[in-house]
Amino acid sequence: MKTRPNIPWAKAEFWGSEEKYVIDALRSSWISGGPYVERLEAACAEFLGVPHAIAVSNGTAALDLSFLALDIQPGDEIIVPGFAFMAAANLALQKGAIPVFCDVDPLTWCIQPKAVEKLISKQTRAIVAVHSYGNMCDVPGLVDLAAAHDIALIEDAAEAFGSKMDSLLAGTQGHINTFSFHATKTVTTGEGGLVTTHDSDLAEKMRLYRSHGLRRHRHYWHELPGHNFRLTNLQAAMGVAQMEKIETILDHRVRMYQRYKNRIQSMPGTQMQMITETCEAAIWAVALRLDATSFPQGRDEVMSALSSRGIETRPGFQPPAEMDYFGPTSVPVSENLGRWVISLPSYPSLTDSEIDYICNELAKLSKAG
Ligand X SMILES: *Cc1c(COP(=O)(O)O)cnc(C)c1O
Please provide residue 125's backbone torsions phi and psi, each rounded to the nearest 5 degrees.
-110, -30
Q: Which of 18, 77, 138, 156 binds ligand X (CB under 6 A)?
A: 156
Q: Does 21 bind ligand X (CB under 6 A)?
A: no
Report the C-alpha gap between 341 and 362 in whole angstroms: 13
All residues at 6 or more sequence positions from 348 whose CB lies less than 8 Å from its CB, including other chains? 13, 248, 249, 252, 253, 256
102 binds ligand X (CB under 6 A): no
237: Cβ–Cβ under 8 A, 6 or more apart, which residues? 18, 21, 22, 24, 25, 36
Query: Which region among 33-41, 81-89, 109-117, 206-214 touches ligand X (by CB under 6 A)?
Result: 81-89
Smallest separation, CB 158 to ligand X (Å): 3
Q: Is 87 in the site for ligand X (CB under 6 A)?
A: yes
- How many residues contact ligand X, by CB under 6 A? 13
Q: How far is the CB of 181 from ligand X (least distance, A)?
A: 7
Closest of 284, 5, 326 to residue 158, by C-alpha: 284
Stretch that binds ligand X, among 13-21, 66-74, 84-92, 219-227 (CB under 6 A): 84-92
The reply on whether position 155 binds ligand X by CB under 6 A is no
Residue 77 interacts with ligand X (CB under 6 A): yes or no: no
Task: Categorise residue 14: left if φ over 0, alpha if ψ from -120 to 50, beta otherwise.
Answer: beta
Q: How far is the CB of 184 from ligand X (least distance, A)?
A: 7
Q: Is 158 in the site for ligand X (CB under 6 A)?
A: yes
**Residue 41 and residue 55: Cα distance in Å, rounded?**
6
The distance of closest approach from Cβ of residue 282 to ligand X in the complex, given in angstroms and rounded to an integer, is 14
**Contact set with ligand X (CB under 6 A):** 58-60, 84-85, 87, 130, 156, 158-159, 180, 182, 193
